[in-house]
């Protein structure tokens, strides 16, 4: 899975925001504000990545156990799927 084309990260007023670009620009409802770990996972998903890889990356980057990281990754993936931002191919 990876982030679909047409979305970029921007720093806006000290916040990291995922914004639609190109054809997706007409739908500003797809704009998401990300916390630090969300921005980290987004960057990981710029290239194809499995859920297990995301959990490993999160535990390697932050002082968090695999169970907590797994729950956080699942929640993040769910949000991306609900907003049709994730390409699961």
pLDDT at 26 over 60: no
Q: Name the token pair of 22.
A: 């190109």
The architecture of the domain spanning 2-87 is Orthogonal Bundle (1.10)
What does the domain layout of the chain look like in residue ranges?
Answer: 2-87
Count of beta carbons in the 10 Å neighbourhood of residue 60: 9
pLDDT of residue 37: 95
Using DSSP bridges, classify how beta strands 32-34 and 15-20 pair: parallel, antiparallel or unpaired: antiparallel
pLDDT at 56 over 80: yes
Interatomic CA distance for residues 74 and 29, integer angstroms: 21
At 22, the pLDDT band (50, 70, 90 cuts) reads low
pLDDT of residue 25: 47
Give the residue, 85 or 27, on which the prediction is more confident: 85
């Amino acid at each position: 899975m990876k982030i679909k084309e047409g979305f970029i990260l921007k720093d806006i007023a000290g916040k990291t925001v995922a914004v639609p670009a190109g054809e997706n620009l007409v739908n500003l409802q797809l704009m998401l504000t990300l916390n630090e770990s969300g921005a980290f996972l987004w960057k990981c998903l710029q290239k194809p990545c499995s859920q297990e890889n995301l959990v490993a990356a999160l535990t390697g980057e932050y002082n968090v156990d695999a169970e907590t990281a797994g729950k956080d990754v699942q929640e993040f993936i769910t949000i991306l799927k609900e907003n049709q931002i994730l390409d699961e191919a």
